Amino acid sequence: MCALLPAALAACDVDPATRAATDATAPADTRVAADGQPIAGDASGAVASGEAPGVPGTRGGPSSTLPVAPGSTAGNAQTPAPADADAEVAITPPGKTAAADADLADDSPLRLQVLLERAHFSPGEIDGKGGSNTRRALAAFQKAHDLTAGETPDEATWAKLNEDDAPILVEYTLTADDVAGPFRDTPDEPEDMAKEDALPYTSVEEKIGEQFHASPALLAELNPDASFEVGETITVPYVAPAARLPAASKIVVDESEAVLQLQDDAGKVVAQFPVTTGSAQFPLPIGDWKVTGVARDPVWHYDPELIAGSDPDDEKAEIPAGPNNPVGTTWIDLTKEHYGIHGTPEPSKIGKTESNGCIRMTNWSAAAVAKIAKPEMEVVMQR
């Protein structure tokens, strides 16, 4: 199962030895200015690591702090910082429209995924192909707008989606920060992860992919001749509006649909995200819970007794922060002991695998939800 003990993290991965490489910083800012350049700041949506008491973190310098396990040598356990629900996320117009935008078919799967993402009905990692997460996102969008449900968008659904007339693909010029790294391979075993000072991306392609909610394979397809060096202009999906979620009063996690929904005061679904939830050994804790706070760049406290498929001879270990950390870059703490809503190092697997009880999302979705997750906000988990 997952754990914040209290404000200490144990893992939520079914198999901690199997993970994709991602980055040692929080998700890069997805806001893009009119000239196509990133806006300074962090759109990760969770409170700064320096606001969560605990061990030194990787973001914010040596004085930054992160949650720790009770009784550990890293420090005294304390509660997570409150969710920063009132902070505004600035969304600016896109930069220059990419030439490839004009080549997209009106019914392109890539167009559908980007429009759904910007409408807050997320297909998860954008790959330009679609699949079960995209179908669930489409169905939820159609239901929310009283449209006829279907496996593919009908004319009325496209008309509603196309009310958002911003470009699908835009140009983006890589900055020194984008390509600076560090980039390195991620160890497979928890004991080896614990020896690292951080768990960074293995490549700039993975880092930029997470920044723009896209798979590295899609970036390669959109930019076949790119070297991903500083100053180079590449084509990326325009997803900045997805960072600002509508107001919500309740979080609902539906196990059967593998989704997390945000509902308003009237019970209307205003946003939906694919999630990975529970397993036979560590099922989703059905019931009513509440948000207690948010931690950013959390340290993972690996305990083999809490992880399905772990080697019983493994020792407990503290795994350093970063998007390749098994709980990603954001932890939303709940009143259900040991459970939380958090990110992932493997966005392509969200909605398609099992967890150790917690609710796992893409890093960018967890960050966005953390932005509106008020303390005492109701969280309903259902089958």
Q: Which residues contact 240 (CB under 8 A, 6 or more apart)?
A: 30, 31, 32, 91, 92, 94
- Answer yes or no: are the C-beta atoms of 38 and 175 closer than 8 Å: yes
Q: Where are the strands (E) in 25-173, listed by range?
A: 55-56, 65-66, 169-173
- Report residue 18 CA to chain centroid gap: 18
User: What pairs with residue 3 in β-bridges?
Assistant: 10
- Per the CB < 8 A criterion, the answer to whether 137 and 242 are in contact is no
Count Cβ neighbours within 10 Å for each residue of 133-159 and write b for 16 or more, e otherwise.
bbebbbbbbbebeebeeeeebeeebbe
Alpha helices in 304-362 (DSSP H): none
Q: Report how far residue 45's alpha carbon sits from residue 212's, in angstroms, rounded to the nearest whole number.
A: 15
The helix, strand and coil proportions of the chain, stated in percent and rounded to the nearest 5, come to: 20, 20, 60
> What backbone phi and psi angles, to 5 degrees, belong to 340?
-160, 175
Give the DSSP letter of residue 349: G
Q: Are 142 and 148 in contact, with CB atoms under 8 Å apart?
A: yes
Looking at the chain, how many residues does it have?
383
The catalytic site residues sit at: 342, 358
Within 8 A by CB and 6+ apart from 83, the residues are 47, 291, 293, 294, 332, 370, 372, 373, 374, 375, 377
**Contact yes or no for 111/157 (Cβ under 8 A):** no
How far apart, in whole angstroms, are the C-alpha atoms of residue 143 and residue 259? 14
